[in-house]
Chain A
């Protein structure tokens, strides 16, 4: 009984508890509530993944209104993977959050913070769970609106402008998606994704569908910060509270990529998207430029959170590159990197949170000699950084391996060289931080700091542990990703 409702519970549980957090207000109970719900969501997600793996795609009719009339929630292997990583990141981030939030957010606002966090979680999980195009738009907006609020809670006033900038860009993106969905409805008379996929081939040679495709693509590209539509991202990640940077960086853009996958492969179909509309070539060029340019920009950043933000733009390039190949191997590589990057970036941003808690700054020159004082935190940074570079035995290497072999399978060896070149840039920007923290003499006037508390170190180390585990044995992840990719690609073939 319960297992059949897992799909709905996944979304509904955090939604219901969001207002509860608000009522609990500034007490620690709000945090306890958010923490419990986050772990509950992770538990549900784990059950869901196992269920999808054993039984197959899960479908759920909301309010018992059968699709295509009613709203259908539909979780296949691709969606389950996304749900799992979101829930896992959510649980880690919430376990970490208490000390950091007490430090960075005024006590009277903490109730709002936890409520918005749960709403954001709801939205993100909802996007991955729903099988309805309009419902996806609604969840996208739930997650976006709450993340604007979360970002605006940052410690400096620049968080406000960053949130405003994100709000404007994000709303334009969402409206573009809305237009696209409207046009699809106009031509097919349905909003259910599977239904859309069946009806579209009959009308896909019309201008309306092509325009709809363009609107959806651009709208989603803004949401996932595809170069050159990434301008909102660096400021948002830099000025948001540390916990929010970690959560949003690990989940929001990833979900954007999932939306793109859904529309390209499930709704429009691989033939229309990649053969008729040539979106593969366009995305490939943008992805490569993102990889190289954003990595290069990251090298010149002195604020490490901003550096990591640009690195995120570059890493999104890797994922999009895999997807743009439109092969099973390419999409698998994209999904593996999506998962791994979430782990890596979350750990790195949590590490920044630790440093900010003790040092009050994440500027490069304040970090000199920090490794002596915060060895465990900096060790997280080093392993996370190595993973970003793609050193063997870390998950980043696995991503790179799959991506490069996918590119080589497609016969595009110059791209392989560019991918590896971009990882060298990662070596430089990570190297700068390591050099400062480990091999520079601290400023004599700088204050002595202690290591971060265990409650903040353990979640970061759990993420690093998962990261290393995947680096040594990625067969489980690769199997799930391959299954997801095959479902996506197979679904598009009429």
Chain B
């Protein structure tokens, strides 16, 4: 039941309205406002601790008598279809967790995997997914060292769900943080946006369309090492996943209390992705990626970092797309091609295709 639409709710109207949904909807998992609401309103307060509350992609914990800190992260994978152009659920499950470690400057050491299998899943499908996970581990130079398997009744799962957790080591003096962006910093994305989301859409039941776009699923640890090896005082790196570039930029803007300004014409997009977004009525700023990151770096180091990224195969299309400013803290603006400026808002739930 939604709230009754009556007047008194207006009294003392809160700028952040209470969520309208008494049940979990798909939008709560889409990386936008609804999910953020869930995290801030329910999850973080429940476990009340500063490491969780920092909301970095990875928690870092001190180790006794060591020059390193332990980076720790977890992620679950529920993608459908399981196999799509450019990847599969197994690859994603390795890359996603490796990337959450890598963007914190950590060297990934080991992963765990929890498999939730639906009764009736062909063993052959499972083998295919696991083989792919194995290859992805080798590519990312990380070992899968522990795991768990559960089976649920037919209809209680969707073929296969995977959770992976990962640990890595990060140098003690490394201070990458979403709260450290300063006015004047440049924003660099490592390549074209939206490839993964559009590749998945192109094979989803009911939406099939012909495209050559492949998912960008890839381990970013090589790229992040390259960036950090420049010695540039990188403020933060984040991998772009659900909710796209927009969601990450909103987190940066809020945690660092800066405004961000994007230059629409500078944002790298594959021609096919741009066309698909125009046709489907989607905004590439909100479309998912699985092998891209955004970095905020001081202006004087921006060219060095950009060069370093471009020398790596996964950063060939890297570009400076905007900067942090002191004006309008927490807001993300975009200068449009025609010259007008607009605010980029955080998406509410899922991007719903437009009617016409």
Q: Tell me, yes or no, whether A binds B.
A: no
Q: State the A residues within 8 Å of B (CB).
A: none
B interface residues (Cβ-Cβ under 8 A, vs A): none
